[in-house]
Amino acid sequence: MSELISHSGAQSHELEDAIRAARARINDAPTELGSDDELNAELDLWAQCELGRWMLVNQGWDAFWTRYCISYPDRVAAGEAEPDNEAERFFLSRSVQVVATQQRFRHFSRLLAKYVRPGSSALSVPCGVMDDLLLTPGAAGARWLVGADLDPRSIQLAAENARDQGLTDKVVLVEADAWSLDQPTAISGDAAAFAELCATGFDVVTSNGLNIYVPDDDEVIRLYQSWRNLTKRGGHLIVSALTPMPDWDLATVDPDDLLRTKRLSFINDVKWANPRTADCTVEQLQSAGFEVVETHYDAARAFPTFLAVAV
């Protein structure tokens, strides 16, 4: 694919159009989501915060907002004030899929701490700000840390992050499509090292859920195959995938939180609407040349993490 699929990249001046579109959706909303008045009140509140405005226009997150949402629990624990906007507070602390994403990141962090070893090479795709690799304890000892993303803004933020962490000398950033990473549009860092890594393979490849934006199963398998081609035999892939709601452990979810999660997803018309069962993901990874050796679940079992070995 050659265009952004996680968010539209639309401009802020399109907010009024996005709100009109949301109100049109509300007119045809399923009755289970509540009345039109309730949904319009939620929309009005959501549009009052910057995160809400971004999501209404873009239907997803870019690198900045991904970090903002994932790091929220740690920021609050460190003393940052919670948002004034009540809808934003809910979204960041109680929305089922967001909480699952935050917990998923902790699973990734534990696994990367184990497999990013001295002298190793690791690839993050799409890399976003690249916190997954740059903040892992083994980052300083790794030989190469490569971030790949199709969004130039992500590459810029990852470069700033690498500089802030003092890791610029071992970071290579490539602007590239995830299905054809060996054909980058631009490379920042050691291009020869990247070419060699594409030929010999990485020790670790990590991806935080690009598959959730892809509706076609064959395209998902092709995505995994592209990553298998860049992974050494015996190397590891760490990946996650959203599961369908019937597979969630709803005993861990407040019914009101679940309803509001559905409402906000509907209002934003989010692009991450391609769930697959855990068994389906395991089979797709096997088809691409990986063997899943561990599956780690968030509390709601909504966004499991899979550790796979290249065979």
The CATH H-level superfamily of 100-244+273-310 is Vaccinia Virus protein VP39 (3.40.50.150)
Q: What is the mean pLDDT of residues 196-224?
A: 95
How many angstroms separate the CA atoms of 83 and 90, rounded? 10
Mean pLDDT of 262-276: 92
270-273: long-range contacts at Cβ-Cβ below 8 A with a sequence spacing of 24 or more? Answer: 270/55, 270/59, 270/60, 271/5, 271/6, 271/7, 271/8, 271/59, 271/60, 271/213, 272/6, 272/60, 272/97, 272/209, 272/212, 272/213, 272/242, 273/212
**Calpha distance 145→59 (Å, rounded):** 30
Which of the four pLDDT bands, split at 50, 70 and 90, describes residue 203? Answer: very high
Residue range(s) in the chain whose domain bears CATH number 3.40.50.150: 100-244+273-310
* Mean pLDDT along residues 27-34: 96
Residues 6+ apart with CB under 8 A from 140: 166, 167
User: Does the structure show a pLDDT above 70 at 286?
Assistant: yes
Q: 124 near 210, Cβ under 8 Å? A: no
Residue type, 128: G
Q: How far apart are CA 87 and CA 292, in angstroms?
A: 37
What integer pLDDT is reported at residue 9 of this predicted model?
Answer: 52
Judged against a pLDDT cut of 80, whether residue 128 lies above it is answered with yes
Whole-angstrom CA distances from 214 to 261, 271, 275, 289, 290 are 21, 9, 9, 19, 19
Q: Under a CB-based contact definition with an 8 Å cutoff, are residues 63 and 157 in contact?
A: yes
pTM of the model: 0.93
Higher pLDDT, 209 or 188: 188
Output the pLDDT for position 4.
41
The string of pLDDT tens digits covering residues 159-168 is: 999 999 999 9
Could you tell me the pLDDT band of residue 272, with boundaries at 50, 70 and 90? confident
Residues of the chain above pLDDT 90, percent: 92
Integer Cα distance of 26 and 37 in angstroms: 9
**27-46: average pLDDT:** 97
Is the pLDDT at 208 greater than 90? The verdict is no
